[in-house]
Each structure stands twice: as C-alpha cells, then as structure tokens.
Amino acid sequence: MIAVFICLLLIANLAHAKQSTLLPEPVIAALSQELSGETAKRNLEYVARHHRMRGSRGFRAAAEHIIEQLRAYGLEEVRLEQFPSDGKIFYGTQKSRPAWDAEFAELWEMRETDAGWTPHVRLASWDAMPVTLAQDSESGETTAELVDVGNGTSERDYTGKDVRGKIVLAAAQPGAVARLAVERFGAAGIVSYAQNQRTAWWGENENLVRWGHLDTFAPKPTFAFMVSLKQARNFQQRLARGEQIQLRATVRAGKHPGFYDVVTAVIPGADPRLRAEEIAFSCHLDHQRPGANDNASGSVAILEVARAFSKLIREGRIAKPARTIRFIWPPEIEGTLALLNARPELAARIKAVIHMDMVGGGPETKAIFHVTRGPASLPSFVNDVAEHFGEFVNYQSAQFAGGASAAYPLFAPEGGKEALQAEMAEFSMGSDHQVYTDSSWGIPAIYLNDWPDRYIHTNFDSPANVDPTKLKRAAFIGAASAYFLASVKSEDAPAVLHLLQAGSLRRTSTMLRRRAELSAEEAANLTRFHLWHERALVDSMQRFFRIPESAGVEAAAFLNSMEKLSGGIKPPAPAQGDGRLIFRRNPKVKGPVSAFGYDYFTDHFGAEREGTIRLLQYQGLRGSGGEYSYEVLNLVDGRRTAQEIRDAISAAYGPIPLEIVLEYLRALESIRMIEAVR
C-alpha cells in the first residue's frame, strides 16, 4: 500500500512540476517577461569597475550607484546604513575591521646599469589592476632583492636564507606568510602567487592573478603584491640559476577608521496585519575589481528583482505583496553581522532570506548553479519553495534548449540558450546566508550560488564571463520564491504540504541509502533525526501562518506512513555522564564563531589551544570541522543534551564521538559563548 501511495504521489508531483507552479500563471508570465538579464548586466558592468573593499571609496561608489538606481526604480525607504568600523567595536562575533583604501601601488623589476639600478619592467600596478595589491597592505617603499621561500609558512622554508630587509616570493597567502617572513625574520614585503579557491582547473591558466589578503589585525604592518603563476615560475627559474632579482615596491595605502556601509530599500507590504513581516533579498556588494560573478552578479540580480517588482506593481500587472520585501547590499558577512546586531528590530521582522552570491557565471567559468537548502538544524519549507521554482526553470529551459515547446524559456537575447541544469543542493557554507541561519537569529535562508567557478577571485572574473540569461533565471527563481513567501497564507497550506511530501520522498530515499553504510546504532540515529526533520519542515509553516486542521491531519497521516516506510523509530539509549549536560547560548554574543577576516573563537580561545580541539580538524562522511562546529553551536538551545547534539550532527555529517563534541562545547563555554544550564 505504501509503495502504491508513493508511486502515485511521485507521478502527481511530477505532473504538477511540469504544468503549474505555486504562483498564478499571470504572475509567472509577468515576472518572466519583465525580468531582464541585459538590464542586470548593464548594472553589473558599472559595479565591476570598482575595487569594492569594505569602507573604501570604491565600495561607496558602487553603493551610490545602487542607491541611485533604486530611487529611479521607485523603491521606498532607500537608505545607506552606516555602522562604525574601527578595529575595536564588536558586532556580535565580528570584530569590526577598519576601512581600507589605496592611493598608489607599483612593483617594478629593476635592471642594473652604469647609472645603477633603474626601472625595467612594471610587474604590478594598482591603477591598472587593483587585485595585484593584497588587501590590507600598508604604505611602504623599498628596493630590495627577491628571495624564494617556497610556501613561506614553515620555519624550514627559511632555513639558510637571509630575508631581512628583502622581498620574499611565496606560494601561500600573504597573511600566513607575513607571520614568519615579516614578523619573525624581518622581510620588507611579500610577492605572492597563492592559488586560492582551488578547483579542478587549478594551475591550467598561468596568467591568472589571484586575490590576496593580509591579516587586518597583524601586529606588524607590511605590504604584499600578487603575481601570476607564470610570473612566479619565471622568477623561480631565474633564481635557481643564481640570478639576482632586484625589485622596487612603492605602496601608499592603509587602514583607517570608517564604516560598514549597507544599502537597504523596501517594497512595503499591502496587508496591515503582515506588512511588519519581511522577506529579505541579500547579497554582498564588496569584492576586488572586477569581481563580476563574485559578487556583482548577486548584487545586480537582486537589484533587477527590485526594479521588476516595482514596475509590475506600479503597472498593476501583479498585486502588491502582503508582506514587505526588503533588499540589502552589505559587505560580505561582516556587514550582515553589523546590520543584524545593530538593528535587532530589523532582524526580528525578517521571516526568510533569499541570498544570491555568484549567480551569473557563463560557460567559460565552468560554473554549476545551485539552489541550496538551509542547515539541518533549521528545517524550513522555504527551501522546498525555492527548489520548486528551480525545478520549474530547469524543466522550462531544458525544453527550450532541446527544441521542444516551452512557455517560459527564460533566456536573454544577449545571453545563452543552454538549459539551466540547476542542482538542488544540501547546505553549504561560505556566504552571508550562514549568518541569517545561525541560531542567534534562526532566519531560514535560500542560497542561490555558482560553484565551481574557475575564475573566482582572479582578474578574469570579468563581465565578459557573466551570462545575461543566467542572471535572468537566477532573478526569476529568487523573485518567484520571494513573491510567494511574501503573500503565503493558511489557504496555501495544502499546496505547500504537497511540495513537502514530494521532497520528503526524495530525502527519505537519500536517507535510506546513507543508513545502509552505517552501524545499526548510527542507522537508527539517522532515521530518528530524519523523521524529526521532516516533521519540523511541516511545523515550519507556522512561522508564516496557522496550519489548518485538515492540512495538519493530512500531514500527520503522511508522516506516519513515512515512519513505517523507514522501519519505525528505535528510541535512543538514555544519555550517560556528561552526555546529559545541557548548554544555552550567551545572548550577548550573536553570530557564528568565525566571522570575516576575524575568528572569534581563535582570538578568545588562543591559536595554540585551538589546535588541540579535535572537532575543528574532524573529517566526517559528508562534512569537516567547519560544518560540525557551525552546527554544534546552532544546536545549543538550552534544551538539547550534549548527547542529542552529537546525535544530530552525526546524522547530518557523519558519526562523531561524543567526547569530541563535549571537548568543543567546553571550549565554547570557556570563552563564554555558551553556558551550562544548571
């Protein structure tokens, strides 16, 4: 009976996905017609002209362009929020980083002549390519010999080498190199060819110059230049032959007290009872120049949604949503942490977030588009809504690409015509969505993102590699999801429930496959967590509306069937010893342990002691230390025992011993991020 029920439900949902959506056909048509990949790309081309570091003149120029466009598009409450950033003020777990600006920077190779050392080849220029100067470089000027120190992060890299007063050539990121090269051994500066953001295409293009970073809070200021792998190999070959390479570096740059600038605007809700609730669009506006896909693309995609909504509402083609829709352009993670900590009343109003970070990568980038769910600790139906619209675009674009009839091909005349082939993905970290979903706020988030992207964080992340069709499709998925959520009500419960049921069947299939690889005890734990998660998804509708009794009865019947399908629930063994400990979060420290350019845990616990915490180096079946630590803190709620927290993250990422979880919980307690419930 269960098997027949499942087959019928799958067939019904497949037909539903092909023939209809959660939104009325006229709304789908209006969004499809109005959203413009070309308009988005024109805005992207302007934004990508600026080197958009936090608090910098480049960031402000990009922010002012966003503000100008928002006002022209008719958005309301358009404003620039400013939060002081001086290196001392804390916004929850984020220690504010001072603003950073550069005036001038050049790196020259010198040639020895009868008149002495004279400029020969310019290797780097701030004016021509700002990415060649590492972020947070400080002013300095020197003419010095170049010394190859390999990776540059181990003392053995410096054995037998005198680098005092010289410039070091290193493979690692400048911030890591500076701790030894500059602070310990007295080097004057750094030339790095760090291959960050490694993908399968790493090293194939030797001409890429990658984004470099120095430590904002380093005790000794220095500067660093970034060069291509090709240039670094040229240096290494010449140095290996015994050739002396003399470089001249000139840098006028530095940190200074400033502000986190955050642009916001709204489309006010129409329902007097619901307009205080908000659906937020998020992105991050900051990045190196050009930073086109990362993340001018997300910034202009949500700007295009704002334009389209405003125009369609003004023309009467779609109704004003019941809830307010807000748009936010911050510096990545740190700006979001500043906003949510400084404006708690705003955080309390946001019911869900659509976050876009890298949504325009064209074929050259090798990008795969993802519609990514929230963390296992925060089950929410909003992710199923996003998947619904993602699957709709997948189907429509595949039909169109294959030459079949498609009512909504969603392509831009100046863009590609390929099928989207978006992946419906489990939670991954790496952007502002993880701030919203942190249990300090517990705001469900939809994360739209490209990965991999072979040009991320390089000089080739340019507008030429951004596809207007991709921008239009990402904007559509976000806009459709937001518009539905902004007006969803009790009458929509059956449609949402059917969506959850279809997703539950897929997720149950994945769970059954995974538990086959586990011991009996861990398999039972995974089953318990999975069934809890599916029930919590249904319950999450109450964040938006009251679940009608009839829908509740249907949901209970379905979930009971799922429990039988899964073999029933085996009760866990009672927690023993310290596994019975319960912790709660310190409400005065809001945010994840690792922020941006600053790690709260490392700073307060100590870098050396941090190396002894086994959870941070743990490698599970589907996650590593960063994922485990993020979810452990999220699961600390004043009710779960340590054993229950261990069981939950073991279900999410793979089994982990209780003692390793307890060790981390006690470390968090020692720095007062959490406290034991007595």
| 13 pLDDT more than 70 | no
- Amino acid at site 121: V
Q: What is the mean pLDDT of residues 472-497?
A: 98
Instruction: Confirm if 433 and 282 have CB atoms less than 8 A apart.
Output: yes
**pLDDT at site 12:** 44
pTM to 2 decimals?
0.96
**pLDDT at site 11:** 44
Distance CA 239, CA 659 (A): 50
Architecture of domain 99-256: 3-Layer(bba) Sandwich (3.50)
Q: What CATH code is assigned to 34-96+259-417+444-482?
A: 3.40.630.10
What are the pLDDT digits (tens) for 107-165?
Answer: 999 998 888 889 999 999 999 999 999 999 999 999 999 999 999 999 999 999 999 99
**pLDDT grade, residue 203 (50/70/90)?**
confident
Q: What is the mean pLDDT of residues 190-208?
A: 91
Q: Which residue has tokens 């003692």?
A: 659
Distance CA 338, CA 654 (A): 33
What are the pLDDT digits (tens) for 381-432?
Answer: 999 999 999 999 999 999 999 999 999 999 999 999 999 999 999 999 999 9
- Amino acid at site 160: G
Distance CA 541, CA 568 (A): 25
Per-residue tokens: 585: 């979060």
The percentage of residues in the chain with a pLDDT greater than 70, rounded to a whole number, is 97
| 355 pLDDT more than 80 | yes
What are the pLDDT digits (tens) for 486-511?
Answer: 999 999 999 999 999 999 999 999 99
Q: What is the mean pLDDT of residues 445-458?
A: 97
Supply the mean pLDDT for the chain.
95
User: What is the SS3 string spanning 65-132?
Assistant: HHHHHHHHHCCEEEEEEEEEECCCCEECCEECCCEEEEEEEEEEEEEEECCEEEEEEEEEECCCCHHH
Q: Pick left, alpha or beta for residue 294 (phi over 0 → left; psi -120 to 50 → alpha; otherwise beta).
A: beta
**pLDDT grade, residue 212 (50/70/90)?**
very high
Distance CA 13, CA 64 (A): 45
Beta strand 278-282 pairing with 324-329:
parallel
Q: Domain boundaries in the chain?
A: 34-96+259-417+444-482, 99-256, 490-565, 577-676
β strands within 171-274, DSSP E: 189-192, 224-226, 246-256, 258-267
Q: Please give the angle made by the CA atoms of 345, 283 and 481, to the nearest 5 degrees.
A: 80
Length in residues, the chain: 678
β strands within 438-593, DSSP E: 445-450, 583-585
The candidate with the shortest Cα–Cα distance to 495, out of 371, 391, 386, 385, is 385
